[in-house]
Structure 1
């Protein structure tokens, strides 16, 4: 479900080898709705390892390749340090807009993923079966 042209994916918990696939699935499902923008909210991410980082980089690439504006919110200190260590500090700050794309308007969320051992989707998530 896209509101005002913007899909929102909110992550919470640990983003690691066990949970990285949820990012890809959520972003893919969101892009199928043909949004003009996708907001990735990382405010609730408490930990990110290399598998999680790979999932975030692939998500960014998929969104921009689809010609969709990519907005990231809430990069915490642990993820910020990880990005800095690999020389990718600027990739997840603010907005990344593909060439010839119209700016997207922000709107309420579409997918919320709680990462970790008790992963679950919110009631309004289009992916409840993926997280059960």
Structure 2
């Protein structure tokens, strides 16, 4: 950050290089998080699971427009990322429940802050999606 631009808040503790290498940007966990949250269904899925654990069909019914295949892919990706836990109960037929992990729950606070910003700055937030 230059001496002239001291009002800009520091987003991360690690300073960025003068020129950020593309491989470094791609490997950055912040970049990965925003890519995951920026897909069509992940954010809504996380918010719904933040209310309480859900079975697959409950989630599918609550998310209008998502196909079973896409919801399956979204849940698998969130599980692979360590944000969602899948629990299979030994019933006949097997019952599967999805819930947020501890890191998934911890993510809800910062997501709420971003949501509050979007509501408070609706004009700017709306301009971002155009």
- TM, length-normalised to structure 1: 0.30
Bigger Cα Rg: 2
TM-score using structure 2 length: 0.30
The structure richer in helix per residue is 2
Q: Whose RCO is larger (CA < 8 A, sep 6+)?
A: 1
